[in-house]
Structure 1
Amino acid sequence: MERTTSKSLSPLPIFGPTISVMDRYIITELIGPFIFGVGLFSSIGVTVGAMFELVRKVTESGLPISIAIQVFLLKMPEFIALALPMAMILATLMVYSEMSSNSEIVALRSCGVSVSRIIIPAVIVSLMATGLTFALNEVIVPNANYQSSLILEKTLEQDNPPFKEENIFYPEFGKVRRPDGSRDDTLTRLFYAEKFDGKYMKGITILDRSKYGVEQIVSSESATWNPTKNIWDLFNGTIYLVSSDGSYRNIVKFDHQQLKLSRAPLDLAGKKRTYTQMNIAQSYEYLELMRLSGNYRKVVKTQVRIQQKLALPFVCLVMGLVGASLGVRPHRNSNRGTSFGISVIIIFTYYLLSFMTGAMGQKEVLTPFLAGWLPNFIGLGVALLLLGKASR
C-alpha cells in the first residue's frame, strides 16, 4: 500500500500532467463495478419495462417471437441510458468505501492528498458517463424507440399508414378583443377532418371564432395545403355566418376557397413521436408546433420535458460525486451489499424527487428550468456538504 501511495503523486506523461498513478488506479477500480452496475440495472429495467409487456403480446396478441426479440433489442439502449447514473453511484460508493475500509484513504491523506483530490478520478469517470448518456439519448435512444413502435404497429395493426388516417382535430387558441377593449384568451378556431389520405383532408369542418360576436362555420368536401402560398385550398364547400344569437346571417357556397390557417393540422396528421422518441432538437420543433396551436398545457409540458432531457446526462456527475463523498468517509469494513442498498435508496429518492418536480413544473408551481434541474442542484448540494464533512 505504501508503494502505491508514494507513486500516486507522480504524474503519468501518457495521460497528461494531471493524471497520476493514483488516478489511474482508482479509475481502473471504478470500471469493473461500473460495467457491472450498467448490466445489472439495465437488465432489471428492460425486464420490468419491456419484457413482461412483450411476453404478454406474444401470448395474447400473437406477436412473433422473432419480432419480440427485435423490439426487445431496440428497447435496450433506453434502459442502458437510464442505468448509467445508477451504475455511477454504485461504482463510486463500492470503490471508495472499500478504499476507506482498507485504510487507503487514510494513507493518501497522510501523504498530503486532499479528499477533493482523491475524488477527481470519480469526476473523470462521471463526466465520461455523462457524455455517453447524452450521446445515447440524442442519437440512439429516440430512433430505437421509434423503430420499435413502428415494428409493433406494423405487426399488430396491418396496413397502418405513416400518418393519422381519421379524426384530425386542431384547436387554435388566441386573444379575442371584446367591445370594451379587453382581450380574452379563448378558442379562436377549431379544425376537424374526418379522413386524411396523405395529401387531401376529407370532410372538413372549421369553426372560426376569431372575431367577437361573429362565428363562421366552414364546411368543405376536401382541403389540401398549398406550400407555395402557405395557405389552405378548400374545395366544394359552404361558409355559414352565424350571429351571436345563433341565427344564420349568410350562407355562401364555393367551389374553391383559400383560407389563411396554420399548417399545424397537416403536421398533427403526420405520425408524431412521443417524448421518449424525440431528441432535443425534435422536442424544440414539437414545442413550436404546440405554440402555433395555442395548446398552452402541451407547451408547458414540452418545456419541462426538454429541461429534463438536458439535465438527465448530468445525473451521472451528481451520482458520482454523491457516491464518492459517501465512500471516502471512515469505514471499519466494506460490504458490497450495503453499498448496493444505499445506492438503490439514493436512486429511488432522486427519481421520486425528479417525478415530483416534473409534476410541479407542469402545474407551473416551478419554472420548466427548475423542474428539470432542481433534483441535480439538490444532489450537487448534498454531495458538496458530504465532501466538506469528509474533508474535516
Structure 2
Amino acid sequence: MSWRGMILRSYLIREQITPFLFSFSVIMFLLVLDTILQQVDMILGRGVDWEVALELFFLHTAWQVALAVPMSVLAGSLMAFGRLSGDNEIIAMRALGVSVMGLITPALISGGALALLLVLFNDRVLPEFNHRARLLTMDIQRKQPTVAFEDRAGILIDDFRDHQILIGEVDERAGIRDVVIYKYEATGYPLTVTAEEGEIRFAEGSDDVFLMLRQGEIHRLDDEKPDLFVTGAFEKLTLKLGEGGRKLSRTVSGYRNDREMDIGSMWDRVRTYESDADSIVQASSGRWYALITQAVFGGGETRPEHPSDVIAFRRVAGRLSSDATLASHKRRQAGRLRVEIHKKLSIPAACLVFVVVGAPLGIRVRRGGGATGAALSVGFFLLYWIFLIAGEKLADRAVVPPWAAMWTPNLLLAGVGLILIVRLSSRVR
C-alpha cells in the first residue's frame, strides 16, 4: 500500500472515532439512567449505603457496554460517512479512484477489532459482572429497611418477624408513645404488649433492635385454659425485635446461570446435558426391549393378558413417559446454552454488520445530519433486536436451531448492506 493510501485509511478511521465516542457516551448515559430509575426504589426503600449503590450500578455497566458498542458502531458509521458525503469528500475520493469498498474497508478493520475485543469482553468480563450483580441484588432485596419510626406513627409496622407494632406518637429524640405490640408465639395465641412510652435501641456490635418500654401491661390467653385471660403490669420491659437490617449480608455462591458462564463452561454443561439425555434414552430403550422380550419369548404363565404382565407394562410405560420428559428437558437446557454461546459471538459480529449497513446508508443520506443518523441507528438496531429476541424465543422452544436464531439477524442486515454497497458502486461508476 502506498503512503497516500495509508494516510487516507488513517484519515477515514480517525473520522469515525469522534462519532463513535459521542454515540457511545449518549447510549451509555441513557442505559445507566434507565438502570438507575429501575433500581432507585429498591435502593432507597432498603436503606442501602451509597457505596453499595455505586457498586451495583458499576456491575450493571458490563451488559450496558456489550449493548452500547454495536449500537455506537452503527451510529458512528452513519454520522461519519454522512458528514464525509455531505462535505463532498466522498466525491473527491472517488475522483481519485478510490472504490466504495476502499472507503469502507478502514471502517471494517476498526469494526473487526472492536468485535474481537467485545468477544473477549462478553466471554471474560460480562459473566463475572452478571454473577456479582445478581448476588448483590439478592442481598439488597433480603435487606430490611433501616428501622426508622419517625414517619410511621399510626401505621402498623410488620418489619420484624413474629411482631406487629403500632405507635401512636414519635418525638424528635426517637422516643415513642402509646405503643401496642402484637407478638405471635408458637402456641397460636398472640401476646399483646401496651406501653405508655419507650425508646428504640440498637445493640452494640450487632444488628439487633430492642424496644425499651415503660409503664405498660401484658395481655395474653392462658395456654392451658384459652378461656382464661391473663394480664400483668410492668414498670420497665426490654423487648427484642430481631435484626434491624442496617447491615448488608454479602452472599458467596458458586452457582452460575447461563448468563454468568464463559463459553468454555457452557460447552462443558452442554455436553453434560446431552450425555445425560442420551443415557436416559438408552436406559429407556433397554427397559422397553426387556419387556417386549419377556412378553414374546417368556412362555409359560407370561402372557400379555396376564394381570402381572399388564401391571409391568403400565409401570414401564409410565417410566418411559417420565424418561422422555426428562430427556427432552435436558436437551432444551442444552439448547438454551447453545443459544447463549451463539449470542456471545453474534452480537460482537454485529459490529462488522453495522459497518456494512451504516457506511453506505451514511453516504446516501449525506446532509441528513446527526438527527437522521440517530433515527436510522435506532430503527435498524430495534429491527435487529426484535429479530434477535424472536429468534431466541423460537430456539428456546426448539422451533429453529440455535445458530440460525442468533445469526439470522446478522445475515439479513449484512445482505441489506451488501445490496446498498453494490447499488452505490454501480451508481457512481
Contact 1:54 1:68 in 2 (8 A): no
Structure-1 separation of matches of 2:95 and 2:375: 31
Q: Relative to structure 1, is the Cα distance of residues 301 and 106 closer, same or farther in structure 2, using a 3 angstrom cutoff? A: same
Is structure 2 residue 276 aligned with structure 1 residue 284? Answer: no
CA distance in 2, matches of 1:77, 1:363: 28
In the TM superposition, what is the alpha-carbon distance from 1:384 to its structure 2 partner?
0.5
Q: Offset of 1:57 from its aligned partner?
A: 1.3
| Separation of aligned partners in 1, 2:73 and 2:361 | 13
Q: Which string of whole-angstrom CA distances, capped at 9 and with x for unpartnered residues, describes residues 260-319 of structure 1?
A: xxxxxxxxxx74222221221122233234333632222222222221222111011101
Structure 1 residue runs of 5 or longer lacking an equivalent are 1-8, 13-18, 159-269
1:29 maps to amino acid: E
- Name the structure 1 match of 2:49: 64
Q: Which amino acid in the other structure matches residue 350 of structure 1?
A: Y
TM-superposed deviation, 1:10? 4.1
User: How far did 1:113 drift?
Assistant: 0.9
Are 2:402 and 1:373 aligned? no
Structure 2 residue runs without a partner (length 5+): 144-252, 278-326
Aligned partners of 1:75, 1:96: CA distance in 2, in Å? 32
Identity %: 27
- CA change 1:343–1:320 in 2 (3 A) is same
Distance 2:7 2:415 in 1: 29
SS of equivalent residue, structure 1 residue 20: helix
8 Å Cα contact 1:97/1:327 also seen in 2? yes
Distance 2:36 2:258 in 1: 21
Question: Is the 8 Å Cα contact of residues 79 and 373 (structure 2) preserved in structure 1?
Answer: yes
1:99-114 pair list within 5 angstroms: 99-114=84-99
Q: 2:120 aligns with which of 126, 135, 159?
A: 135
In 2, the alpha carbon distance for the partners of 1:282 and 1:52 equals: 33
Residue number in structure 1 paired with 2:375: 341
Count of residue pairs the alignment pairs up: 265
Give the match for residue 257 of structure 2.
274
Give the whole-Å Cα distance in 1 for the aligned partners of 2:335 and 2:125: 26
Residue 11 of structure 1 deviates from its aligned partner by 2.1
Match 2:336 to one of 301, 312, 315: 301
Q: 1:117 aligns with which of 102, 115, 122?
A: 102
3-state SS, counterpart of residue 329 of structure 1:
helix
What is the alpha-carbon distance in structure 1 between the residues aligned to residue 353 and residue 42 of structure 2? 38
The 2-side partners of 1:329 and 1:391 are apart by 11
How far, CA to CA, are the matches of 2:261 and 2:48 in structure 1? 26
- Asked whether the equivalents of residues 60 and 130 of structure 2 are also in contact (C-alpha less than 8 Å), the reply is yes
Q: CA deviation at 1:330?
A: 6.5
Separation of aligned partners in 1, 2:120 and 2:338: 21
Q: Distance in 1 between matches of 2:137 and 2:13?
A: 41
Distance 2:338 2:62 in 1: 24
Note if contact 2:123-2:344 (Cα within 8 Å) is conserved in structure 1: no
**C-alpha contact 1:115 1:328 (8 A) present in aligned 2:** no
Matched, 1:40 2:26: yes
1:383 offset after TM fit, Å? 0.8
2:345: which partner in 1? Answer: 310
1:358-377 Cα distance to aligned partner (Å, 9 max, x none): 22222223211111111111
Q: Give the Cα–Cα distance (whole angstroms) in 2 for the partners of residues 101 and 154 of structure 1.
A: 53
AA aligned to 1:326 is L
CA contact (8 A) 1:138 1:279 kept: yes
Which secondary structure does the structure 1 equivalent of 2:3 belong to? coil
Q: 1:312 to 1:128 in 2, by over 3 A?
A: same
Partner of 1:323: 358
TM-score by length of 2: 0.59
SS at match of 1:328: helix
Instruction: Name 1:11's counterpart in structure 2.
Output: 3
**Would you tell me which structure has more helix in proportion to its own residues?**
2
Post-superposition offset of 1:155: 4.5
* Structure with greater Cα Rg: 2
What residue is the counterpart of 1:360 in the other structure? 394
- 8 Å contact 1:63–1:156 — kept in the other structure? no
- How much has 1:26 moved relative to structure 2? 1.2
SS of the residue corresponding to residue 398 of structure 2 reads coil
Letter matched to residue 91 of structure 1: G
Give RMSD over aligned pairs: 1.9
Determine the C-alpha separation between the residues in 1 that align with 2:137 and 2:386: 30
Secondary structure of the residue aligned to 2:364 is coil
Paired amino acid for 2:30: I
